[in-house]
Amino acid sequence: MEQLSSVLPLQGTEVSSDRVFNVWGDVGVGKSTFISEFRESKLLSKEKVLWIQPTRKEDTLDTIPEFIRACSESVRYPSSPNKEKKISERLGSVERGKINPIVSDDSLLITRSDIAKQKKPYVNQAAAASVGRTEVARDDIEINVGLGESKANNHAEAFLDALPLKSLGTDLTIIYLQKFEKLSVTIVDWLRDYVFPAASRGPYRRSLILLLESTEPLQFAYPNESWGEWVKKVQDFRLYPLIEDDCKSLGKGLGIDNNALDYLPIKSLCYPDAMQKAVNALKNCQRSTAVKFLDSLPTPDQLKVAGLSLPEVVHADEISIIFGESEGTSVYNWFKQLPDNQAQVSSSGKAFVLNDGLRCEAISRFANQAQFKEYAKSWKPMGVFTRNIPSRADRAKLLLLAGLNWIDKPLCEKLFEGQSAKILPFITENEECFTRYQDWYHVTERLRENVHVIATALKHPGITTVSKKAERIWNEKFEALSDRSQALESETTLLETEIRSLENHQKEIRTQIRNQSSDTGETSKSESSLLPDWLHFGKKSGGDPNDPKHISSEISRKMNESERKLDELRAELSSIKRELKHPFIYID
């Protein structure tokens, strides 16, 4: 929590302060709990921070008034709870207030006339503006122009006006969007185009930040989202599982015996959502049979069993990451042949599961031994990987892609050829494992690092064969795109020069036409001969090619063709630049 507090501008925002903060991490790592505990912590209770959480409910917020209402209903002020009611009421008055349909840019509300106490309309808008509201009364309906007592012109300004000023004792207002996806496009656009600019400068400037929660960094969580004026004022904060000592402390507090505490971080992987399940398993597991079995083995073999106890499910190829490429299969086969090994073998015979009693006893015996610590360190990336991706088939596909950065359909087809029909749907239809930007896909950041570490440790083809093939394809594509980009830049420059020349000649011709219209005589041939030869487009049926009006028409046609061509070149150039920003491999 101290780390998060050091990241957030709790003492108030400055011009250079970040404004959008994203707390991200694995599913089940405890993001929502962490943020809630941070809000209620002693640390925050000492700060002058207003906390608003409009997306705490399951309902989707579609309109701006709904968003403001949700804000008014979720006001928390940990250091000054007595201020909450007044702030809530101020926000509520904004949601119920009405705005000038002529002046306002962001919303319009119409209410029944019985809401307003005063029916008498103001003389004009200037008189209304002096007091911050205008009412146009009718018997059946009233359009109330203004926002309560606020002099704001629109809901964005009125919303900010309802938030307390830093100069009046509130250093920071945090809008916590636990479920950003619950906001409609209308609300997101309103925040970006109206709230952010008004909060950054002018009379409605506020010390305001957004706090988001997601499973990815902002770049990948919302790849198509723009943060407007705050686009360069964003910061990601990754939340990791608990450290082992904290995990053991919690386990001890929940009644776990000291001689079983070393197994708890292995069983739960220190994820808060798995802690209670692991604690229950430890309280109910029996270890007497495991003690007899282990005592029958020499110490080096007991250590091997402790290594085999790290995975939830033991697969011969996956435990190579623990014992090494040459030893994994032999250790697997050795254990399967041991009598009374207490293993439950899968129907395929390619995997087995050890019970919690044996795993706990074996790990407890060697938890402080250097070799076992090395085993545990080697297994941890695979343990997190199998937790996040339970399907072995999906893990195998992800390891094939371990050396790739951005992936698109043409690359997939070139890399995997006949197998691409199986790989491509896995990529394009799997939001759990991939993020998408237009036609490119990327292994999620919460998986990518572990996938790469595992593939490297296992010397998997995904990090060797596939990656090297992708590198060759990218280098060829990069060279072709770079050459084409240079050619397009040259063509664009030439066309821009040509268009400027045409514009200048068009000005000359139009001046000549205006002069001709005021002169009863014909334009001399000497005047038209001043034009370059390439503007004489040939004689048109029924017209003189030297006639200024004819020349002007031809120049316009030529300009239209050149501008259309320029647009095409720029579009192609923009497409190439996008492709160059999405390399297939990681580039240092």
Alpha helices, DSSP H, located in 354-403 = 356-366, 370-388, 392-400
CATH 3.40.50 in the chain is located at: 1-102+152-238
Crossing angle of helices 409-416 and 465-517, in 10° steps, is: 150
- pLDDT by residue (tens digit) across 536-584? 444 444 457 778 888 889 999 999 999 999 999 999 999 999 999 999 9
Which residues on neighbouring strands pair with residue 142, listed in sequence order? Answer: 111
Q: Which long-range contacts (CB under 8 A, 24 or more apart) does 573-576 make?
A: 573/485, 573/488, 573/489, 573/492, 576/481, 576/484, 576/485, 576/488
**What region does 457 belong to: left with phi over 0, alpha with psi -120 to 50, or beta?**
alpha
Q: Helix %, strand %, coil % for the chain, to 5?
A: 55, 10, 35
Query: What pLDDT sits at residue 356?
Result: 93
Chain centroid to CA 520? 69
Cα–Cα distance, 508 to 252 (Å, whole number): 89
| Angle (nearest 5°) at CA 201 between 168 and 38 | 55
- pLDDT by residue (tens digit) across 371-397? 999 999 999 999 999 999 999 999 999
Residues 6+ positions from 147 with CB-CB distance below 8 Å: 93, 94, 97, 98, 99, 132, 133, 155, 157, 158, 161
Cα–Cα distance, 49 to 176 (Å, whole number): 12
Which residues of the chain carry a pLDDT beneath 50? 98-149, 520, 523-530, 534, 536-542
**Six token digits for residue 137:** 């009364």
Which residues on neighbouring strands pair with residue 366, listed in sequence order? Answer: none
| Angle (nearest 5°) at CA 25 between 19 and 29 | 125
**Six token digits for residue 438:** 């237009």
Chain centroid to CA 31? 15
Query: What pLDDT sits at residue 117?
Result: 40
Query: What pLDDT sits at residue 144?
Result: 38
Burial class for 46, CB neighbours closer than 10 Å (0-12, 13-18, 19+): exposed
Residues 6+ positions from 20 with CB-CB distance below 8 Å: 209, 210, 212, 218, 227, 230, 233, 234, 235
| Angle (nearest 5°) at CA 320 between 315 and 322 | 105
What's the Rg (C-alpha) of the chain? Answer: 34
Cα–Cα distance, 575 to 295 (Å, whole number): 67
Cα–Cα distance, 89 to 150 (Å, whole number): 13
Task: Write the DSSP assignment of 209-222 as a string of letters.
Answer: EEEEEESS-HHHHS
Candidates 1.10.287, 1.10.3470, 3.40.50, 1.10.1220; correct CATH number of 1-102+152-238? Answer: 3.40.50
